[in-house]
Amino acid sequence: MGLLSGIHAPGDVKNVPVEQIDELAREIRDFLVDSVSRTGGHLGPNLGVVELSIALHRVFDSPIDSIVFDTGHQSYVHKLLTGRHDFSDLKKQGGISGYPCRAESEHDIVENSHASTSLSWAHGIARARKLKGEDRHTVAIIGDGALTGGMAWEALNNIAVDRELPLVIVINDNERSYAPTIGGLAEHLATLRTTRQYEQVLDWGKARLQQTPVVGNAMYQSLHGMKKGIKDVLSPQRGMFEDLGLKYVGPVDGHDEQAVEHALEKAKTYGGPCLVHVITQKGRGYAPAAEHEGDQWHGIGKFNPETGLPFEVSGRIWTDEFSDEMVRLGAQRDDIVAITAAMLIPVGLDQFAAKYPERVFDVGIAEQHAATMAAGLSFGGMHPVVAIYATFLNRAFDQLLMDCALHKQGVTFVLDRAGITGSDGPSHNGMWDMAICSIVPGLRLAAPRDGEQVKAQLREAVEVDDAPTVIRFPKGDVAEPLTAVRQNNGLDVLHDASAPHVLVVAVGSMCAAAISVAEKLEAQGHSTLVIDPRWVIPVNEAIVEQARSVGRVVVIEDNLVTHGVGVAVSHALRSAGVDVPVHTYGIPHRFLDHASRGQVLESIGLTPDVITTDVLARIASH
């Protein structure tokens, strides 16, 4: 860390001599590989933006100039250049976040880490600066697939007519998000990359000039005079960008720091919105990451930096259960199709895609389009399965409500990473999906307790053809199978009692904790019945009937406690005239800091010991 150790603020970056920039970039890459190998994290994206991040801080003056990162997982280099060198607890409790974080630094602005938002943020910031008469620049770095999101195009549509805003848009074009970026935009950017060919022609002319000055000079001058014509042939006028009225600079080699600086300086002085197209390589400088075509190096666990091999081999995860069952369903039903939003591999659709490529649609980072396209596929006679992270269902709520539910379309949403995810911080916890789904008329939601239930409930979901269905499960290793003691009107009884005083309603991944609570309560003399409703929205009438004969009801869920299954159960009991107290244990109504899943559960009291203590206190007080 020779040069890097002297970087404590953006001003220090500006003071690095030009001839030492390459050395600084090497140090940063070495630091990232070494640090992330110990903690895990988003390595590939950050190795690709080293020179770009250096150039940004040499050209602009953060925090006077606002730098907004889209897909904030590509901000590690930015953190280093703004003085944050302690990566020992990256994404861990008490350590630095894996995304921009306002609590960490005045240089961090947008920390939600949901893609395609940077242009809207930047437009608003730039407009505010203009209204206040401030001479400040705003820079948005968008890429890693984020320009496939519809919100980015809504912003571009408005930015294009705001002709005097000092706003610079940097497209970090690495051709990938988790996997290769798809769609018309990706193809257009690929076409624009061919504009570098005319530079190669000019470089050839320069070489001839050095070899044969007389002939070479005439040749070079002729080529240089043809420059605009060559550009017009090889690049269709930068297509939509310049047609929108946006100044376009590029494409630029994103690993030539001086070239990036020059492009940014040019954009900075333009006097209006300007788009800089920077071509980078994800995983640059570390062979295992640069050469791997899958998503392994996008976000990775601890690994051996010498070999690139992981230290820990992951066991079977929840996603694997869904993935395998989708392949089986695909073989049995040719109407089953799958949709993903730029996350084919993370959500487990890669096996289905390998088997049935014509029945998988990757729409890019466009959850709204995914949901409404699914409604259309359903209308056309297919049964679509939309697989996304639970946190990203937030972005498609209107489409779920108005396009799928209102029209009674048979669409199944499979929500991976539901509940507490932990280390990715507040924006990635899947803690809002059941609250959102609970207000959608006709929707049915299942929360499987183990892998066997993932498979069984997915099969049940795709049989529903007149309403949307939702299957949600958590991140990580799949839970050990929990066999029901018996079944009762659609309820699985997990812990039986002949004359129960307490009824525990266990939701999904919290079933094991619920059984532990029951055992602890019975040790204190309180007979307890534990049921898994399996389908938790809407409330099964059998729960209401069961509640008539107990003294109190306890609901345990990994969802917002204020808008979840517990609230729905309370309402169902009141509506049926069942007057028993209902105690709900879930996620509090606040954003949660990054930490491990276990640490978060401990911090919010969603553990068997804490729940049991509280239930016993409530029993004693009545």
Residues of the binding site for thiamine diphosphate: 73, 113-115, 145-146, 174, 286, 367
Q: Are 275 and 248 in contact (CB under 8 A)?
A: yes
136 catalytically annotated: no
Q: Residues within the annotated binding site for Mg(2+)?
A: 144, 174
Place of tokens 């919105």: 273
Bridge partners, 413 (sequence order): 386, 470
User: How far is Cα 197 from Cα 510, in angstroms, rounded to an integer?
Assistant: 58
Task: Tell me the one-letter amino acid at 173.
Answer: D
**Rounded to 5°, angle at Cα 405 from 446 and 572:** 55
Task: Tell me the one-letter amino acid at 247.
Answer: K
Helices (H), 274-317: 287-291
- Consecutive H or E run containing 339: strand 336-340
265 catalytically annotated: no
Q: How far is residue 303 from each of residues 31, 317, 348, 483, measured CA to CA in Å?
A: 14, 19, 22, 36
β-strand pairing of 444-446 with 535-537: antiparallel
Q: Are 21 and 54 in contact (CB under 8 A)?
A: yes
92, 238, 284, 395: which is the annotated catalytic residue? 395
Task: Tell me the one-letter amino acid at 580.
Answer: V
For 224-331, list the strands marked E by DSSP. 247-253, 274-279
Place of tokens 């040790």: 523
395 catalytically annotated: yes
User: How far is Cα 475 from Cα 251, in angstroms, rounded to an integer?
Assistant: 39
Phi, psi of 154 (to 5 degrees): -60, -40
User: How far is Cα 510 from Cα 392, in angstroms, rounded to an integer?
Assistant: 22
Secondary structure (3-state) at 155:
helix
β-strand pairing of 486-488 with 502-506: unpaired
367, 417, 444, 557: which is the annotated catalytic residue? 367
DSSP class of residue 593 equals -
For 533-614, list the strands marked E by DSSP. 535-537, 552-560, 582-587
Phi, psi of 513 (to 5 degrees): -65, -35
Provide the residue count of the chain. 622
Q: How far is residue 271 from each of residues 135, 138, 140, 162, 215, measured CA to CA in Å?
A: 11, 12, 16, 11, 40
Q: How far is residue 241 from each of residues 166, 237, 274, measured CA to CA in Å?
A: 17, 9, 10
Torsion, Cα 477 481 487 491, to 10 degrees, reads: -10
Q: Residues within the annotated binding site?
A: 73, 113-115, 144-146, 174, 286, 367
29, 84, 282, 597: which is the annotated catalytic residue? 282
Task: Tell me the one-letter amino acid at 231.
Answer: K
Shortest CA distance to 264 belongs to which of 253, 279, 275, 280? 275
Secondary structure (3-state) at 11:
helix
User: How far is Cα 338 from Cα 319, in angstroms, rounded to an integer?
Assistant: 15
Q: How far is residue 43 from each of residues 35, 137, 459, 567, measured CA to CA in Å?
A: 10, 29, 37, 41
Place of tokens 């105690």: 583
Task: List Cβ neighbours of 58 (8 Å cut-off, separation of 6 or more).
Answer: 13, 14, 16, 261
Secondary structure (3-state) at 192:
helix
Task: Give catalytic residues, as residue numbers.
Answer: 282, 367, 395
